[in-house]
Amino acid sequence: MTAFWNQPDFDDHEQVVFVRDAASGLSAIIAIHSTHLGPAAGGTRFWHYVEPSAGMRDALRLSRGMSYKNAMAGLPAGGGKAVILADSNRTKTPEMLAAFARAVDGLGGQYITAQDVGMSEADMVSLSQRTTHVAGLPGQGGGDPGPYTARGVYLGVKAAAKRALGTDDMKGVRVAIQGVGSVGGGLARYLAEAGAELILADIDAARAAALAEELGGISVSTEAVLSADADIVSPCALGAILTEESIASIKAKAVAGGANNQLATGSEGRLLVDRGILYAPDYVINAGGIISVLRHIDSAGDDEINARIDRIPDRLEAVWQESAATGATPAEVADRMAQRLIGR
C-alpha cells in the first residue's frame, strides 16, 4: 500500500483525518492543509469514487487549493476540505450526516465546512444542528454562493479580455463556457448583458441549449467547447480539464473560468504559456463564493463582500504582471504568492 503522505498531492498538510462510522455507513476524509491565517475552511463534497484513492487525492488537492484561495482573497481563514465517500447509489442518510457533523465538531473549530458538490443547503442545515462549525448557512446572510462566484468570474473574464485582447468591452467578444450551472449560467447572463457572443456546453445538453436560446448564443457538446472558435474559454464545471491534448486544441487567447483545479497535473500552465494563451489561476478568479460564505468569520456585510470581490481583477493583474516579468507561469506565480501569505 502506498502511503498518501508520499504522494505528490500531499503538501505538508497539518492533519488528514479518516472518519468511519460503521453504524451509519459513513466513510469520509477531512484534510486540513493550513491554519496559518485562521481556521481551515472549505466545503464538503459528497461523491462516489470508483477508487478510494481518488477521493484522497481530491481531498488533498482541494484543501491545498482552499488555503491558496482564502489567502489570495485576503480572508482570515486557512484551507481545508472534506470528502464523503458515497457508494455507487450515492446513498445519503440523516444518520450519515449526523456522524459526519460529530466528526467536524470533534476537531474543535480547526475545520469549518460549507456546501460543495453533492451537498445541499438542507444538508448543511442538518450538519449545523450538531456542530457550529458550518459556513454559508441561510441565517448567516450569504445564501447560495454561486451568484457571488459568477460575479467574480465575470470580473475576471473582463480582466483577461483586457490583457489578452486589449479591451474589457465585452461586446462582440466570443466566450465559450463549459458548464452552465449556478456559476457558469450566472456568468453567461452577465456576459450576455454586456453584449458578448456565447458558446455554451453542459453535461445536461438540454440545459445548455435552453440557456443558449434564451441568451441568443449557441450550444455545443462538452467535448467540443474547449476547442470552439472563441476568444476566451471559461471552464465552469469539474476540474482537471486542461490536459496536453485539450490545450493543443484551444483556439482562444485566454482561459478564465470558475472550475477548481483546472490544470490536470499542474504542469499544463507551461503549455498554455508556450501557446500564448493567458491563464487566470482558478482559485484567484473563483474566490467570490468563498468570500461570501465566510462572511461570518469577521462579520462582513454585503458592501464589504462586494468590495472584496471587486478586487479579484487587481489580484489577477498582479499575477499576470509578475508572470510577464519573471517568466514563471501565472499558476506558479499565484502559488508562490499564496505560499508567502500562509508562511511557507
Own/partner long-range contacts of 13-21 (Cβ < 8 Å, ≥24 apart): 13/60, 13/63, 13/64, 14/40, 15/107, 15/110, 16/56, 16/59, 16/60, 17/103, 17/107, 19/99, 19/100, 19/103, 21/96, 21/99, 21/100, 21/103
Sequence-separated contacts (24+) of 154-157 with Cβ below 8 Å: 154/186, 154/187, 154/190, 154/191, 155/309, 155/310, 155/312, 155/313, 156/256, 156/280, 156/284, 156/285, 156/286, 156/312, 156/313, 156/316, 157/187, 157/191, 157/232, 157/234, 157/256, 157/257, 157/280, 157/285
**Nearest-angstrom CA–CA distance, 260 and 65:** 8
Cα–Cα distance, 18 to 230 (Å, whole number) = 44
Q: Is 162 an active-site residue?
A: no
Which H or E run includes 81?
strand 78-86
268: CB partners within 8 A, 6+ apart: 242, 243, 244, 247
Which residue is catalytic, options 69, 81, 92, 253?
81
- What's the CA gap between 286 and 258, in Å, rounded? 5
C-alpha span between 114 and 137 (Å, rounded) = 8
Catalytic center residues: 81
